[in-house]
Every structure is written in structure tokens, then in C-alpha cells.
Amino acid sequence: MSLKRMWALFMARSLEFIRDRAGFGWNILFPFLLVAAFGIAFGTDAKKQFKAGVFPVTDPKPALETVDIPETLKTDPSVQLVFFKDLDPALEKLRHHKIDILIQSGEDKGSGGVRSTDKTVVRYWVSDASPNGALMEKLVKAAVVPEFFLDGRLHRQAVPGTPVRYIDWLFPGILGMNIMFSAFFGVGYVIVRYRRNGVLKRLKATPVTAFEYLTAQLISRVVVSMTASMVVWAGCHGIFTFQMQGSYLDAAVVFFAGTVCLVSFGLILACRGTNEELTNGIINFICWPMMFLSEVWFSIEGAAGWIKQAAGFLPLTHFLSAARKVINDGATLSQVSEEVMILSVMSLLFLAVGSRLFSWTR
């Protein structure tokens, strides 16, 4: 392995990208325009679809008539019910703003043995930091008969947190999406184009090894993507004043791990093939489902179980989960160590597969 050759390849690819002013400018302008568009469209409003968690419910899709909550909440088209078996995971979703309120269904054996009736909610949890939670609390109170306010049989429990605007929640997703596109098209598509144009065939005749070439491509794209993300972050923060609850250093580690993982995934797409049109189609076929399943635009809490299981296999899912925990919830690096570890293992797996399958000419 020659560091000199790797440095030369790294500089060549980086300068090629920077000198392509249209591509470099669009890589920065595209996420900025998306954030600006959503900021203007939604302002500081939260998501318009309300999600009410209900527990304990053993069946993931119970018949609504068996769920002991007010009828108005069951029939309200703006309220989506999300069912949980246990309290702890439900409270975790509430803290992360994936649901707007949590309601206990059926008999409440706490609080002095108070029992619920057919039209009464006895206990509910709401985050003081959630604008949607305040609106959902009004809906819950409106659904309960007035006399229950007087004798203290309606129990409210607040979950502490920091207010999170929709634009604050969305911003990590936009950055992650931009890094994904940059990784797939900037590595996968470009290397396929090099192979088709004969560039890789000429490199094969040099002392450069496949490992050196792929490593230089990886490092170049990671540096470019991280730099572009910092520029976008600074520009958007100057306009929208994003709230940063965690450490910038922890966020940088998460973004680095996520970027390396996505670029490594892009190397798999580049390991074979000479057809640019086919490669473009494959990249789009992978990118668009990943955007929706990995919660770039909205939470998939309440979706079918198999959808959430499928999302767990996607690197962007763990990337955005860790980023939002640090940025929106103030989590430390140790608290997102599971996501960072998964991203690291995925990176090693993608690199091993990409290196094994890589071909200079086919």
C-alpha cells in the first residue's frame, strides 16, 4: 500500500469535484432550498397529523371497539392511534416526538385505585415541549365528561423536554438525504462512468491497487460531503436558528460514521457495471424507498411492523436516529453508541463486499 498514490488519487478526485462548479454548487444549494421551502411552508408549526399512543394493547392491530378510550378520538380523522404493549417504550416515543400524547386504556390501578368508565380517560402523558401535544391534550379533555375534572379522576403526567419545531426535526433528515445522494451518485455513478470511459482500464496498468483506489475515493467523498454539510448547516442556522441540544463534537462523530457508511454502500454500487443509465436507475430505486422508510420527511411510527423491521436494515435509519437524538434531544455519544456501532459494522461489511467484487473493467 502506497500512501503517496492514495494521496494523488484523493487530490485528483477532490479537485475534479470542486472544479465542477455546477455539481459542487448544487450539492450545497439543493439541501438549503429544501430547508428554506419547508421553513416557509410550515414555519414553526409541527406536523399536522396527530399521533396518539395507547397502552396497554397486546394486539398490534386491535378492533377499535375493544380499545377503552373516548369514541371521539377513535373516529377523529386527524388522529392516528399507535398501540403499545408496555409503558416504557411508549414514553420513549413520546420524548422523541414520534407520538404527541400517550393515553392509558382501560383500568388504571394506580392513583388510589381509580377506575375508568366507558367514556373517560383516567391517565395520560404529554410532553410540555410538544406543540402537537398541547393540542392533543385539548382534544382529550374535550372528550371526557366535565364532572371528572371536579373530583380529580383525570390524571395528567408531564414528560420533560425541549420544544422541537418541525423544521428542527426535519433538518437532520435533509442533511442525511443530501449525504446519501452525494455518496451514491458521487461514488457509485462516477466510478461506473470511469469504467465505461476506460479510465479504470488505464489505472489498472499502473501500480495502483484496487484497495488504494477505493480508499482514496472513500476518503475524498467523506471529506467533500462533511464539508458541504457544515456549509449548509451554517447557512441554514443563520436563517432559521436551529436548536442544538447536544454536543457539536458528538454530532460530528455521528455524521462522520453515517457518511462513511453511506459512501461504503455507494462503493458496492460501483464495484461492477458499465451502463450509466442502469446504475442511475438502481441508485434511485434504492434512494427513494430509503428516504421514506428512514424517516427523512416524517415518522413512520404507527406503520405496519414489517415496514419498521425493513427500515432497521437501512443505514440511513440508524444515521438519522442518532443524529436526531444528539441534535434534538441532547443525547451524548454513549447514548447513541448502539447506532454508531451498527453504522461502523455496516461500513466494514460494505467495504469488504465492495473490495471483493470490484473489477477494473467489467
For position 116, what pLDDT does the model report?
Answer: 42
C-alpha cell at 189: 455513478
* pLDDT averaged over every residue in the chain: 77
For position 259, what pLDDT does the model report?
Answer: 92
CB atoms within 10 A of CB 46: 22
Q: Taking a C-beta distance cutoff of 8 angstroms, is the pair 251, 326 a contact?
A: yes
Helix (H) or strand (E) segment spanning residue 134: helix 131-143
**Domains of the chain, earliest start first:** 3-42+165-357 (no CATH), 50-159 (3.40.190)
> Per-residue pLDDT tens for 270-281?
777 667 777 777
C-alpha cell at 115: 377506575
> Per-residue pLDDT tens for 174-198?
888 888 888 888 777 778 887 887 7
**Starting at the edge strand that comes first in sequence, how are the strands of the sheet with 155-159 ordered?**
79-83, 50-55, 101-104, 123-127, 155-159
For position 42, what pLDDT does the model report?
Answer: 52
Positive or negative: CA dihedral 127, 132, 134, 137: negative
For position 342, what pLDDT does the model report?
Answer: 94
Listing DSSP states for 206-233 in one string gives: SS--HHHHHHHHHHHHHHHHHHHHHHHH
Which position has the higher pLDDT, 168 or 30? 168
For position 325, what pLDDT does the model report?
Answer: 87
Q: How many H helices and E strands in the chain?
A: 15, 5
Q: Which residues pair with 156 in a beta bridge?
A: 124
In whole angstroms, give the CA distance from residue 54 to residue 71.
13
> Per-residue pLDDT tens for 282-341?
888 888 888 888 888 877 766 677 887 888 888 998 999 899 888 887 888 888 899 999
- Model pTM above 0.95: no
For position 54, what pLDDT does the model report?
Answer: 86
3-class SS at 156? strand
> Per-residue pLDDT tens for 133-176?
777 887 777 776 554 554 455 677 777 666 667 777 888 888 88
Q: Which residues pair with 159 in a beta bridge?
A: 127
Q: Taking a C-beta distance cutoff of 8 angstroms, is the pair 332, 250 a contact?
A: yes
* For range 84-101, the mean pLDDT: 81
Q: Taking a C-beta distance cutoff of 8 angstroms, is the pair 211, 1 a contact?
A: yes
pLDDT band per the 50, 70, 90 thresholds, residue 46: very low
